[in-house]
Amino acid sequence: MTAEDNRGIVLASRPTGRPTPGNFRLETVVCPSPAEGQVLLKILYLSLDPYMRGRMSAAKSYAAPVEIGQVMEGGTVAEVLESRHPGFKPGDIVLSHSGWQSHAVANGAQLRKLDPAVAPVTTALGVLGMPGFTAYAGLLTIGQPKPGETVVVAAASGPVGSAVGQIARIKGARAVGIAGGERKCAFIRETFGFDAVIDHSAPDFAAQLAAACPGGIDVYFENVGGKVWDAVFPLLNTFARIPVCGLVAQYNSEGDFEGPDRLPVVMRQVLSKSLTIRGFIQREFVAQRPAFEQEMPRWIAEGALKYKEDIVEGLANAPEAFIGLLEGKNFGKLIIKI
Amino acid sequence: MTAEDNRGIVLASRPTGRPTPGNFRLETVVCPSPAEGQVLLKILYLSLDPYMRGRMSAAKSYAAPVEIGQVMEGGTVAEVLESRHPGFKPGDIVLSHSGWQSHAVANGAQLRKLDPAVAPVTTALGVLGMPGFTAYAGLLTIGQPKPGETVVVAAASGPVGSAVGQIARIKGARAVGIAGGERKCAFIRETFGFDAVIDHSAPDFAAQLAAACPGGIDVYFENVGGKVWDAVFPLLNTFARIPVCGLVAQYNSEGDFEGPDRLPVVMRQVLSKSLTIRGFIQREFVAQRPAFEQEMPRWIAEGALKYKEDIVEGLANAPEAFIGLLEGKNFGKLIIKI
């Protein structure tokens, strides 16, 4: 490979509302040679996740935005082609954060070696990676489900939602999932083993959700916002916990939101029901990481925790796949095979 | 006293929005003779608190509403006139929950004897009672102020707000208070010793608050809602905690609130700043009660914690005083001397 062979997808312009293919551009990007302590990587898999929508905007957030003309960021699984770091040799498979491109140079200190014999390497981007840890840490640290309680999660066929429901069940709680379309709902019920699943496209969605939660909702793991929130909200029990890890339904919205103003009603319920609403990002829970790395693989090995991947071939298809992700078109953890 | 001598203020009708004097009626109410295990009480002081607005409404809450024609409920300090309980004798001063009336019968098991030698008995309704415990438990359990952090509280001349700011300072945090009018603000600054005080009636209130919180806000103790929330919200730091114990500014509102809808913006910040919003009512923190009963009197004795009472004479004046309380007209813990 020469330094010019690297292809990458850069942010061409910032989206207003829903991203379009024109916000991205596939181009040849320069890949430097590895310096001392670095390795040259061939990217095998790229993770696509909803948080990336935030990086496309200039708005202040917990992370800096991607600059115009920069390669889009993202978690990746890669093969070491060339190593100037004593910990890695060509052929090693590693977890890196190399973004939407075919090759990259990375500091060895920032890589984690993956053992394909322990688990398929793609799981490092999903159930055993950031989405799985988001589910694990948010549910157990903030949600704290107790036996017999009801846990509700949307995007339940996705990597976060599917893990939330299954971990809730492992902890003895009831899991109620929400997803779009009968195909996803059947999978969540049959493979992920949720106690109930509701299709949010049903006209009587809110009534179905209420019927599936006869004892109310004790934990609502919020990863979508929008109309799911409106259906969940009246069902929350006293002392309900609401970990907030995402709001996909509103990521594409800009400017003022139409009234009525729901905030006073929400705050009144926060008060009268002693609710806890807590936003988080998984990396603040580093203390839970060792327990996660011990428990999750064991649950998978025991068959208590299942996962589903949605693998799309080709870097050039990443923009379209990402746009679909924001609309719930993926079915399982969305990964690009480069 | 005969059974007919008892005067009480009953709920005459449920208010729509702001309560009016017509929602209350002073009348003679029957007071039974004490049965075995009970005592007959002469009420000395009645506590008026914002939560009572909630009891006037039929809406579902953590407590049942007062029925039409029933005596308004409330905390009271009373003298035992007659006792059929071995733990009490005539002349004892007790804390009871006897409501807006001149006499009452109560079960001895539900009374707490007060020692006038330890502290003025009215403090059992304020700084050493429910409002003081609301401040103590909410701030320390949910707010968790750390040295150098900034704690903001509104209604800072009131019994909850004044204790919140002073306890924050005892814990090494900066206390920024919000109140209405120069007289209250001066008192909060000079007597309660807050680091900064902002008058919410100032036209540049939000800008003044921002200037008083150059390092942002780490804890916002929410007891009012309304425009204070709007000024506080943009100043919240990552990992800020928001204990919610009251929303006086919206207690009188009914029906839909005008747009724009602020909820999506709030949820976005909850997510991107890892905020914690947690409603509570003091009685859920029984575990903190012994520490409160040990620490608060000591802080008062040491001069680290000051309090102010606003005592109004005469049961008949209770409705007007209560209506004023909801508008911030009181100056300190509002108590009716019967």
Least confident of A241-250, B106-115, B216-225: A241-250
Contacts of A250 in chain B (CB under 8 A): 264, 267-268
Amino acid type, A171 = K
Contact A288, A141 (CB under 8 A): yes
User: CA nearest B138 in A: which residue?
Assistant: A274
| Nearest Cα to Cα of residue A96 among A28, A169, A42, A170 | A42
Q: Is the predicted pLDDT of residue B1 greater than 60, yes or no?
A: no
Contact A48, A318 (CB under 8 A): yes
Pairing of strands B309-313, B276-279: unpaired
- Looking at residues B50-68, what average pLDDT do you find? 86
- Looking at residues A174-179, what average pLDDT do you find? 97
CA distance A60 to chain B (A): 9
The predicted-structure confidence for B185-221, as pLDDT tens digits, reads as follows 999 999 999 999 999 999 999 999 999 999 999 999 9
At residue B257 the predicted structure's pLDDT band, cuts being 50, 70 and 90, is confident
The two structure tokens encoding residue B124: 């059992």
The predicted-structure confidence for A23-37, as pLDDT tens digits, reads as follows 999 999 888 899 999
Mean pLDDT of chain B: 94
Amino acid type, A280 = F
Q: How far apart are CA B195 and CA B173, in angstroms?
A: 10
CA dihedral A120, A124, A129, A135 (to 10 degrees): -20
Query: How many angstroms from the chain centroid is the CA of residue B123?
Result: 13
Q: In order of start, what are the domains of chain B with their CATH numbers?
A: 7-126+308-337 (3.90.180.10), 130-285+293-298 (3.40.50.720)
User: CA nearest A249 in B: which residue?
Assistant: B264
- Looking at residues A166-185, what average pLDDT do you find? 97
Top residue of B221, B242, B248, B263 to mutate, by most chain A CBs within 10 Å, is B263
The predicted-structure confidence for A74-90, as pLDDT tens digits, reads as follows 999 999 999 999 999 99
Q: What is the pLDDT of residue A3?
A: 56
Amino acid type, B237 = N
Q: Is the predicted pLDDT of residue A165 greater than 70, yes or no?
A: yes
Q: How far apart are CA A109 and CA A126, in angstroms?
A: 22
The two structure tokens encoding residue A32: 């430097």
CA distance A27 to chain B (A): 31
The predicted-structure confidence for A5-62, as pLDDT tens digits, reads as follows 899 999 999 998 899 999 999 999 888 899 999 999 999 999 999 899 989 998 766 6
Q: Do B250 and A268 touch (CB under 8 A)?
A: yes
Q: What is the pLDDT of residue A248?
A: 76
The two structure tokens encoding residue B190: 């000079």
- Please report the sign of the dihedral spanned by the C-alpha atoms of residue A94, residue A99, residue A102, residue A105: negative
Q: How far apart are CA B183 and CA A149, in angstroms?
A: 50
Q: How far apart are CA A138 and CA A160, in angstroms?
A: 10
Any chain B CB within 8 A of the CB of A245? yes
- Please report the sign of the dihedral spanned by the C-alpha atoms of residue A325, residue A330, residue A331, residue A336: negative
Q: Do B271 and A244 touch (CB under 8 A)?
A: yes
CA distance A257 to chain B (A): 5
Any chain B CB within 8 A of the CB of A283? no
CA dihedral B74, B77, B81, B82 (to 10 degrees): 70
Top residue of A262, A265, A276, A284 to mutate, by most chain B CBs within 10 Å, is A262
pLDDT above 70 covers a percentage of chain B that reads 97
- Looking at residues B119-145, what average pLDDT do you find? 97
Q: What is the pTM of this model?
A: 0.90
ipTM of the complex model: 0.89
Residues with Cβ < 8 Å from A204, sequence gap 6 or more? Answer: none
Task: Please give the sequence-ordered ranges of beta strands (E in DSSP) within chain A, or none if there are none.
Answer: 7-11, 24-28, 38-47, 76-83, 93-96, 103-107, 112-113, 150-153, 174-179, 196-199, 217-221, 236-244, 276-279, 309-313, 333-337
Q: Do A259 and B259 touch (CB under 8 A)?
A: yes
Q: What is the pLDDT of residue A135?
A: 98
Q: Do B263 and A260 touch (CB under 8 A)?
A: no
Q: How far apart are CA B110 and CA B180, in angstroms?
A: 37
Top residue of A61, A224, A277 to mutate, by most chain B CBs within 10 Å, is A277
Q: What is the pLDDT of residue A318?
A: 97
Amino acid type, B257 = F
